[in-house]
């Protein structure tokens, strides 16, 4: 059963429009999108992750998008692509429901003085736009979102409901920010006075480049005296924490629950797994990959893949191994000194 439906397209039309090689009947009509094991006879499906190849045998789909090397494994119609996941993404966009809210500014929204709103800007119910904000054409601001005074947002952005954007924040074009994200909050700057903590004023701003995407409930602090910077096409998943003065290079993608401490500079095209922690004042080279839950405490100057987390074992094995790990230095030293029964 197709989960998403669209107007009918023939396989021949899809092949032509998306530059795919058709194998089979170009007149077959597609009206929906579905996974290999749920697709019906009018649904388009795809094979990107080879883990799902066994599902081809039973697949009922109108057609499957797949690589040439897998086409022989499927008896039905194929749309052959060098990058099936990319082709799927583009075709799936045809099925997306039109999510546009009513145009214009909802009567319950509060718009501060001297704001500039471009043509086609939508401001949803209960949103609060501070004085002097500049929002370019076709950008949509969701319900209950709050922009502090002076925020600048480019065109064709989607700022979801309940997002907060602080002063001295500037977003490029086509930026997407998901619900609950906090952009441009104060960094964690503290100085010890001898008796108590004193807050270090956070005077910097936040720059977010074109085409960035920021996940739900993710937080990005403004800089302390310089700006926090996301270069274009940085992609952040949900519940990520980016501290003050971090700089992230373009095309870097970071999975959920990762935290990056202050003043660290992340390179371009990095792929950072979920739940990672990266220390402060570090340099991470371009093209670094980090497996999930890794901790980085030193600069990584070479591209390549790095990891550190310990994979789960049955608890009794894990406990015994951890008991050894607690004494590892001593035990190995004893062994190296020939003391066997340590």
Q: Which of residues 133-192 bind a second copy (CB under 8 A)?
A: 142-144, 146, 148, 160-162, 164, 166-167, 176, 178-180, 182, 185-186, 188-192
Residue 256 binding a second copy, by CB under 8 A: yes
* 153 Cβ neighbours under 8 A, 6+ residues apart: 133, 134, 135, 136, 139, 147, 159, 165, 170, 171, 175
Shortest distance in whole angstroms from residue 136 CB to a second copy: 20
Q: Which of 233, 249, 264, 266 binds a second copy (CB under 8 A)?
A: 233
Residue found by looking up tokens 């990095």 in the block: 270
Q: Are 95 and 34 in contact (CB under 8 A)?
A: no
The secondary element (H helix, E strand) that includes residue 195 is none
Is residue 12 a contact residue for a second copy (CB under 8 A)? no
Structural contact between residues 180 and 165, judged by C-beta atoms closer than 8 angstroms: no
Least Å distance between CB 288 and a second copy? Answer: 10
> Residues binding a second copy: what is the number (CB under 8 A)?
135
Show contacts with a second copy in window 31-60 (CB under 8 A).
33-35, 38, 49, 51
Three-state DSSP class for 232?
coil
81 binds a second copy (CB under 8 A): no
In the complex with a second copy, the residue whose CB is nearer, 77 or 202, is 202
- Range 266-285, binding a second copy (CB under 8 A): 274-275, 277, 279, 281
* Shortest CB 259 distance to a second copy, Å: 4
244 in active site: yes
If one asks whether residue 335 binds a second copy (CB under 8 A), the answer comes out as yes
Count CB neighbours of 10 within 10 A: 16
CA angle 132, 138, 143 (to 5 degrees): 70
Given a contact cutoff of 8 angstroms between Cβ atoms, the answer to whether 208 and 230 are in contact is: yes
What are the catalytic residues? 244
């Amino acid at each position: 059963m197709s989960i998403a439906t669209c107007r009918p397209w023939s396989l021949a039309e899809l092949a032509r429009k998306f530059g795919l090689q058709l194998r089979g009947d170009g007149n077959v009509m597609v009206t929906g999108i579905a996974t290999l094991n749920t697709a019906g006879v009018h649904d388009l499906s795809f094979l990107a992750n080879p883990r799902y190849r066994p599902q081809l045998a039973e697949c009922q789909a109108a057609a499957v998008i797949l690589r040439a090397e897998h086409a022989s494994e499927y008896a039905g119609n194929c749309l052959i692509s060098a990058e099936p996941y990319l082709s799927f993404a583009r075709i799936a966009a045809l099925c997306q429901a039109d999510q546009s809210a009513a145009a214009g500014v909802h009567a319950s929204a509060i718009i501060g003085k001297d704001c500039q709103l471009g043509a086609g800007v939508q401001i949803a119910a209960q949103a609060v736009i501070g004085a002097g904000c500049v929002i370019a054409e076709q950008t949509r601001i969701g319900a209950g979102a709050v922009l502090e005074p002076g925020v600048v947002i480019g065109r064709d952005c989607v700022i979801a409901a309940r997002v907060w954007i602080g002063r001295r924040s500037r977003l490029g074009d086509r930026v997407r920010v998901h619900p609950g994200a906090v952009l441009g909050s104060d960094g964690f700057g503290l100085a010890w006075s001898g008796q108590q903590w004193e807050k270090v004023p956070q005077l910097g701003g936040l720059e977010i480049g074109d085409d960035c995407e920021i996940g739900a409930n993710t937080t990005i602090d403004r800089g302390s005296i310089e700006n926090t910077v996301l270069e274009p096409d940085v992609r952040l998943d949900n519940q990520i924490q980016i501290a003050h003065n971090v700089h992230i290079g373009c095309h870097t993608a970071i999975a959920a629950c990762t935290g990056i401490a202050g003043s660290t500079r992340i390179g371009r095209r990095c792929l950072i797994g979920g739940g990672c922690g990266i220390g402060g004042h570090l340099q991470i080279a371009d093209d670094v990959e980090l497996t999930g839950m890794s901790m980085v405490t030193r600069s990584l100057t070479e591209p390549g893949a790095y990891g550190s987390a310990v994979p789960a074992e049955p608890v009794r094995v894990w406990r015994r191994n951890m008991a050894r790990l607690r004494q590892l230095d001593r035990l190995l030293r004893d062994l190296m000194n020939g003391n066997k029964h340590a």
